[in-house]
């Protein structure tokens, strides 16, 4: 891997983390002293992806805006890595008229046709629409691919298995990604899944499956390069499972009393920074510079969101039908 | 675009079954628009279990007419994703009763994406499915369930009752930029292997035409009572109205044709004229179409009703298998006649 690529991966992860730290701050800022999920600048459930940035950065480094991504209820890292406009993303999270969905969607329902991005709040149910995007690309003779993301809990859903079979059968240009963060909300992987690696399940559908054990952004980059090239070449789908880490709660406000692994978690961004410093690619100054650049972009986006108007109640019935 | 009202069916020179009229609509749109394709279970060489795709595979090939695995969630979602990327899928799910296995893709995804995206993403697709009973197919193969789809915001729901509307509504549904649930009753398809209403064969113009979605049709004009209904029950209502006419009762029959959007004006106009209403619905009675129509009238002006509204719908029981039991719950012409006599009393 060349230096620019490695730096790019780092920058993408930092931008995503920086964005989510800002969301985290504003989400909790005005929910005190009595915590109310529906109160404040950012109401509702909030699923942040801190720790899982290597998956999104590694995969999306191979994509252009012509490629599609269907993400999950925890979508920000993929949205940012795939190049979503931070202002439109932030404005949607803050429920503003200027947001991606004009405040009708929220953080689990982000739709950006300019980069073929969508996500679903229902476990595993983002896979089937991904098949349709892939089908359309193939039918239209467009050399684009679709990245379909779920968590490891979703691999026990029917939609997951139906989708793998159909994508394999029709040789659709899809790369299925499983973010295994060990926890389906509070249920550990060992209590939900009968096998240790979901990559094995790919074999059952006659497609290639790999598992990346160490949340390594370069490992993800490498595996997804192969899978994406294969999909673009018309050789059908692949499955990549990444053993990643959920640094924060399932949602904000989740006290995580059920977790016994919090002490042992490794922050993949700090770990990658160390690695890049050791390899002479990052310096302390560069780390500072990238952090500042990211913060500036994020601050600008959050400012845009906060200064944007809320949607007007009179318009609530707009957009039910085209 | 050519709009033809139902009355213009008289200009047609040939009769088609409802099934053939549907297929002709699909076929003409596929010729016109390469983004239209068909997928579902047994839509290829079988031609659709209820003949809704007969001959399309031979004409358009396996790239556009695709049999799917029995993976309803996968192929229903596939249709949504393809529509998002500019295709116009027609996806068949054999029986409406089977929607339980893929309802998430319908009510949480295809129905909501346009709204959640603030109007930035369109989902132009047609879901077609067979409804209805009357041939002892039991509780999991005989339901109508249109109330469920009409209840969810974001889905249009059309239900033709005759060959002319079947073709025109199919063309309108394909051209519509929204997800449209297209529900056809097995008893009006004109299938050679099932008892059929004589009106399942009727005049259909050869050229493409649209029947507007959201517009009801007054299929029989009358002054004494309004029978408001949809699908196969339209025919039972017409049969009942003919019989009642001989007894001096002049019934108006409204074929709603679409549940979403609902033609409230047509309902209210008829009620204003007759003051007596019977709603006939082959879907379940509670929390459904018949209650909705009662609400439309009550919310507008309950004084339009000279007598209380009555409803003839499937009582709240699963559709029974055994013939005498099934026909004890279906809205037949005889039961419509009895109900109208109560309305007129």
Q: What confidence tens digit (pLDDT) does each residue in A159-205 have?
A: 999 999 999 999 999 999 999 999 999 999 999 999 999 999 999 99
Give me the pLDDT at residue A80, please: 98
Catalytic residues of B: 141
Average pLDDT value for residue range B12-21? 92
Spatial distance between the Cα atoms of B41 and B64, rounded to a whole number of angstroms: 14
Q: For B275-322, write each residue's pLDDT tens digit.
A: 999 999 999 999 999 999 999 999 999 999 999 999 999 999 999 999
Class of domain B217-344: alpha beta
Asked if the Cβ–Cβ distance from B122 to A322 is below 8 Å, we say: yes
Chain B nearest CA to A247, separation (Å): 29
Give me the pLDDT at residue B10, please: 59
Average pLDDT across chain B, whole number? 96
Cβ atoms of residues B314 and B284 within 8 Å = yes
Average pLDDT value for residue range A265-278? 98
Chain B nearest CA to A104, separation (Å): 5
Average pLDDT value for residue range A124-133? 97
Task: Supply A124's token pair.
Answer: 């595993």
CA dihedral A123, A125, A130, A135 (to 10 degrees): 160
Is ipTM > 0.85 here?
A: yes
- B114 to chain A: which residues are within 8 Å by CB? 319-322
Q: Is the pLDDT of residue B11 over 90?
A: no
Average pLDDT value for residue range B123-138? 97
Give me the pLDDT at residue B115, please: 98
* CATH fold for domain B12-203: Rossmann fold (3.40.50)
User: Which domains occur in chain A, in start order?
Assistant: 3-309 (3.40.50.970)
- A101 to chain B: which residues are within 8 Å by CB? 116-118, 120
Q: Which among A125, A169, A322 has the least Cβ separation from residue B177?
A: A322
B79 and A CB contact within 8 Å? yes
Asked if the Cβ–Cβ distance from A166 to B68 is below 8 Å, we say: yes
Three-class secondary structure of residue B147 per DSSP: helix
What number of other Cβ atoms are within 10 A of residue B177's Cβ?
Answer: 14
Asked if the Cβ–Cβ distance from B84 to A133 is below 8 Å, we say: yes
Give me the pLDDT at residue B196, please: 80
Closest C-alpha to A49, from A98, A119, A1: A119
Interface A-B: count of C-beta contacts within 8 A: 155
Average pLDDT value for residue range B120-147? 97
Q: Is the pLDDT of residue B30 over 90?
A: yes
Asked if the Cβ–Cβ distance from B105 to A125 is below 8 Å, we say: yes
Q: Is the pLDDT of residue B253 over 80?
A: yes
Best to test chain B binding among A79, A89, A136, A318 (most B CBs inside 10 Å): A136
CA dihedral B232, B233, B238, B244 (to 10 degrees): 150
Q: Is the pLDDT of residue A133 over 90?
A: yes
Cis peptide before B261 (omega within 30 of 0): yes
Q: For A57-115, write each residue's pLDDT tens digit.
A: 999 999 999 999 999 999 999 999 999 999 999 999 999 999 999 999 999 999 999 99
Spatial distance between the Cα atoms of B185 and B230, rounded to a whole number of angstroms: 10
A96 and B CB contact within 8 Å? no
Cβ atoms of residues A250 and A74 within 8 Å = no
Task: Supply B140's token pair.
Answer: 């999991």
Q: Hey, do B12-203 and B217-344 end up sharing a CATH topology, with the first three levels equal?
A: yes
A163 and B CB contact within 8 Å? yes
Give me the pLDDT at residue B2, please: 46
Give me the pLDDT at residue A33, please: 82
Element (H, E) at B280: strand B277-284
Three-class secondary structure of residue B277 per DSSP: strand
B75 and A CB contact within 8 Å? yes
Q: What is the DSSP letter of B173?
A: H
Q: What's the pLDDT band for B1 if we cut at 50, 70, 90?
A: very low
Q: For B63-100, write each residue's pLDDT tens digit.
A: 999 999 999 999 999 999 999 999 999 999 999 999 99
Asked if the Cβ–Cβ distance from A120 to B78 is below 8 Å, we say: no
Task: Supply A29's token pair.
Answer: 């800022």
* CA distance between the termini of chain A: 46
Give me the pLDDT at residue B13, please: 78
Q: Is the pLDDT of residue B151 over 90?
A: yes
**Domain layout of chain B by residue ranges:** 12-203, 217-344
B258 and A CB contact within 8 Å? no
DSSP string for residues in B201-238: EEE--SS--B--TT--EEEE--SSEEEEE-THHHHHHH
A141 and B CB contact within 8 Å? no
Give me the pLDDT at residue B9, please: 61
List the single residue in B with minimal CA-CA distance to A316: B115
- A70 to chain B: which residues are within 8 Å by CB? 81
Q: What's the pLDDT band for B110 if we cut at 50, 70, 90?
A: very high
Cβ atoms of residues B1 and B183 within 8 Å = no
Q: How far is CA A268 from each of CA A169, B12, B66, B89, B198, rounded to the nearest angstrom?
A: 36, 71, 45, 42, 71
Q: Is the pLDDT of residue B45 over 60?
A: yes
B65 and A CB contact within 8 Å? no
Q: Is the pLDDT of residue B8 over 80?
A: no
What residues form DSSP beta bridges with A209? A239
Percentage of the residues of chain B whose pLDDT score is greater than 70 = 97
Asked if the Cβ–Cβ distance from B82 to A132 is below 8 Å, we say: yes
Average pLDDT value for residue range B238-266? 98
């Amino acid at each position: 891997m060349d230096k620019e690529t490695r730096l790019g991966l780092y920058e993408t992860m930092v931008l995503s983390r920086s964005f989510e730290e800002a969301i985290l701050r504003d989400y909790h800022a005005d929910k005190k002293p009595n915590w109310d999920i529906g109160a404040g600048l950012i109401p509702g459930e909030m699923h942040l992806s801190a720790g899982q940035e290597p998956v999104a950065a590694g995969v999306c480094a191979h994509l252009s805006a012509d490629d599609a991504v269907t993400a999950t209820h925890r979508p920000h890292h993929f949205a940012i890595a795939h190049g979503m406009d931070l202002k439109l993303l932030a404005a949607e999270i803050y429920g503003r008229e200027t947001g991606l969905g004009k405040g009708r969607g929220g953080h689990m329902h982000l739709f950006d046709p300019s980069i073929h991005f969508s996500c679903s709040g229902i476990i595993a149910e983002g896979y089937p629409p991904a098949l349709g995007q892939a089908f359309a690309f193939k039918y239209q003779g467009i050399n684009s691919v679709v990245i379909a993301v779920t968590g490891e809990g979703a691999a026990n859903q029917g939609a997951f298995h139906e989708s793998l079979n159909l994508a394999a059968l029709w040789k659709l240009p899809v790369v299925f990604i499983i973010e295994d963060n060990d926890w389906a909300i509070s249920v550990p992987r060992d209590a939900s899944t009968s096998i240790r690696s979901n990559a094995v399940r790919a074999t059952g559908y006659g497609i290639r499956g790999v598992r990346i054990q160490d949340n390594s952004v370069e490992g993800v980059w490498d595996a997804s390069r192969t899978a994406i090239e294969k999909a673009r070449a018309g050789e059908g789908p692949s499955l990549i499972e990444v053993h990643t880490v959920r640094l924060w709660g399932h949602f904000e406000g989740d006290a995580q009393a059920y977790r016994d692994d919090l002490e042992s978690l490794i922050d993949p961004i700090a770990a990658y920074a160390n690695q890049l410093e050791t390899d002479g690619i990052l310096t302390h100054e560069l780390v500072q510079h990238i952090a500042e650049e990211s913060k500036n972009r994020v601050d600008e986006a959050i400012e845009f969101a906060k200064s944007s108007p809320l949607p007007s109640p009179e318009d609530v019935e707009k957009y039910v039908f085209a | 675009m050519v709009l033809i009202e139902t009355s213009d069916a008289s200009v047609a020179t040939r009769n088609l079954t409802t099934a053939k009229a549907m297929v002709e609509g699909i076929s003409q749109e596929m010729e016109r628009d390469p983004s239209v394709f068909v997928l579902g279970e047994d839509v290829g060489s079988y031609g659709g279990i209820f003949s809704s795709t007969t001959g399309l595979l031979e004409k358009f090939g396996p790239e556009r007419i695709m049999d799917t695995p029995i993976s309803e969630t996968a192929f229903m979602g596939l249709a949504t994703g393809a529509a998002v990327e500019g295709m116009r899928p027609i996806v068949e799910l054999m029986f409406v009763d089977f929607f339980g296995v893929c309802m998430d893709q319908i009510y949480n995804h295809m129905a909501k994406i346009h709204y959640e995206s603030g109007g930035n993403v369109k989902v132009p697709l047609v879901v077609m499915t067979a409804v209805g009973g009357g041939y002892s197919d039991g509780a999991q193969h005989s339901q109508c369930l249109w109330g469920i789809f009409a209840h969810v915001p974001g889905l249009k729901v059309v239900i033709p009752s005759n060959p002319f509307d079947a073709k025109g509504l199919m063309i309108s549904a394909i051209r519509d930029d929204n997800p449209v649930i297209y529900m056809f009753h097995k008893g009006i398809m004109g299938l050679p292997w099932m008892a059929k209403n004589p009106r399942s064969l009727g005049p259909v113009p050869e050229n493409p035409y649209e029947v507007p979605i959201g517009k009801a049709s007054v299929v029989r004009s009358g002054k004494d009572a309004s029978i408001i209904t949809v699908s196969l029950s339209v025919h039972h209502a017409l049969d009942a109205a003919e019989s009642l006419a001989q007894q001096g009762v002049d019934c108006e029959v409204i074929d709603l044709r679409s549940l979403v959007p609902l033609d409230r004006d047509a309902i209210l106009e008829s009620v204003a004229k007759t003051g007596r209403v019977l709603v006939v619905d082959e879907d379940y009675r509670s929390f459904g179409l018949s209650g909705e129509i009662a609400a439309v009238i009550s919310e507008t002006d309950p004084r339009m009703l000279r007598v209380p509204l009555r409803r003839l719908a499937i009582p709240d029981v699963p559709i029974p298998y055994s013939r005498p039991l099934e026909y004890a719950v279906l809205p037949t012409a005889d039961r419509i006649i009895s109900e109208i006599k109560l309305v007129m009393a």
